[in-house]
Amino acid sequence: MTTPSAEDTTADDLERRVHRLLEEHPPSTTDRLAFLRARFDAGLAWVHFPEGLGGLGLARHHQARVDALLRQAGAPDNDPRRNGIGLGMAAPTILAFGTDEQEERFLRPLWTGEEVWCQLFSEPGAGSDLAALATRAVPDGDEWVVNGQKVWTSAAHEARFAILVARTDPSVPKHAGLTYFICDMTDPGVEVRPLRQITGEAEFNEVFLTDVRIPDAYRLGAVGEGWRVATATLNNERVAIGGGADRESGMVGVVARTWRECPDRRTPALHARLLRLWVEAEVARIAGERLRQKLAVGAPGPEGAAMKVTFARLAQELSGLEVELLGDDGLRYQDWTMRRPDRVDFTGRDAGYRYLRAKGNSIEGGTSEVLLNIVAERVLGLPPEPRADKDVPWKELPR
């Protein structure tokens, strides 16, 4: 091929932009935050975002090359795992539904990590049935007054902003009466309490909202359109979940290492289980890779739900196997001290921690039971579960 394809031209252009950024802001002599801001302004933060908002309007897959070049040059990154909700959920939602002013105000500090985001969706009475949520938002002039309680909020104690879904009209059926907001977590009506989990630490929080005032300018999408906006957010969440692309990445790699390091603990029965799970993890990896190839040619579907069910089951079985494999040492637990980690870590700490933490994998981001319903209904076309509450005004539902 003698004429360069459009793809090659784009790749060359991207490389030039990366080199220019590195020349103008040498990582070794530039302050971390200053570099990140410059990277955002150069359109190299997330190339699939529009120009002026950290991107260049390119296809998403170009980002990997940019990240690799910057990594090689020793440039700092934005520590994406510290702001997973912001980057994976809030940002695409703001881009899809936000006003120009909202995009201008929020996206840059979100990407650089100056402002961490959290998600105020689930409630004690609204888990799988998120649309039944009861947190109320009542208009007052050009503001909304919000009261209610949210739960399972990771990073709430670090967050500057939250994406929030609240009920603005209780007199219509549950899906129709919701509105989506951006909530300032420094508002005096916001109280964050750590929610200690079975690992001993508190990755999540309960968030109590008492007369929190949100300007109408912080509303995302129209009044009553909250469910549609929230659905877009949650679809992005499922895209973000899924194992790495390399063989033996994730939990299976951890357990395989333990196996290699503990020859004296091996038994035929454990060996048979390990091999079976290794095969399943490898097949899940290949299936994930195939799904990514499918998504890249633009055929997104509910298959992500199937991947997440598999991922959760494997993480649980593998981490359980590892505790057994370790024998006496499997009975030691590193530390029950209450702490508030600043990031989610599925494979870190010790085997006991991994075993306990993995229990959440089939609950967070859609329970495996709900996801199996999604697969059954949207992939296989089986009849939906009966929904007695679908057409009833929310305020008349039994609670």
Partner 1 sequence: MTRLDLLSTDVEDSLRDTVRSLLTARCTPDRVTAVYDGDDSVAAPLWQALVGELGLGGLLVPEEYGGAGASAREAAVVLSELGRAAAPVPFLTSAVVATLAVLPSGDSDLLGGLASGSVTAALVVPLTAGPSFSPVARASAGRVTGAVPVVAGALEADVLLVPASDGLVAVDPASSGVVVSPVVSLDMTRQLADVAFEGASGRLLPVGPDAVGAALQVGAALLASEQVGIASHCLEETVAYLKERRQFGRVLASYQALKHRLADLFIQVSSAEAAASYAAAVAAAADPDLPVATAVAQAYCSSVAVRAAEEAVQLHGGIGMTWEHPTHLYLKRAKADQLAFGSPDQHLSALAELVDLPA
Where along the sequence are the contacts to partner 1 (CB under 8 A)?
247, 256, 259-260, 263, 266, 268, 271-272, 274-276, 278-280, 282-284, 286-287, 289-290, 293-294, 297, 303, 306, 309-310, 369, 372-373, 375-377, 379-383, 385
Rounded distance between C-alpha atoms, residue 272 and residue 1, angstroms: 50
Give the nearest distance from C-beta 303 to partner 1 in angstroms. Answer: 7
| Nearest to partner 1 of 31, 369 (CB atom) | 369
Rounded distance between C-alpha atoms, residue 329 and residue 196, angstroms: 25
| Nearest to partner 1 of 123, 317 (CB atom) | 317
Q: By C-alpha distance, which of 345, 254, 241 is closest to 288?
A: 241
Give the nearest distance from C-beta 278 to partner 1 in angstroms. Answer: 7
| Nearest to partner 1 of 160, 292 (CB atom) | 292
Distances (CA, A) of 393 to 138, 288, 299: 17, 41, 36
Report whether 181 contacts 150 (CB < 8 A): no
Length of the chain as a residue count: 399
| Nearest to partner 1 of 1, 269 (CB atom) | 269
Give the nearest distance from C-beta 379 to partner 1 in angstroms. Answer: 6
Residue 215, beta-bridge partner list: 143
Q: Which of 237, 303, 317, 364 is catalytic?
A: 237
Q: Which residue's structure tokens are 């921690």?
A: 353
282 is catalytic: no
Give the nearest distance from C-beta 119 to partner 1 in angstroms. Answer: 27
Rounded distance between C-alpha atoms, residue 276 and residue 283, angstroms: 11
Report whether 107 contacts 53 (CB < 8 A): yes
Give the nearest distance from C-beta 299 to partner 1 in angstroms. Answer: 9
Q: By C-alpha distance, which of 186, 154, 178 is closest to 86?
A: 154
Active site residues: 237
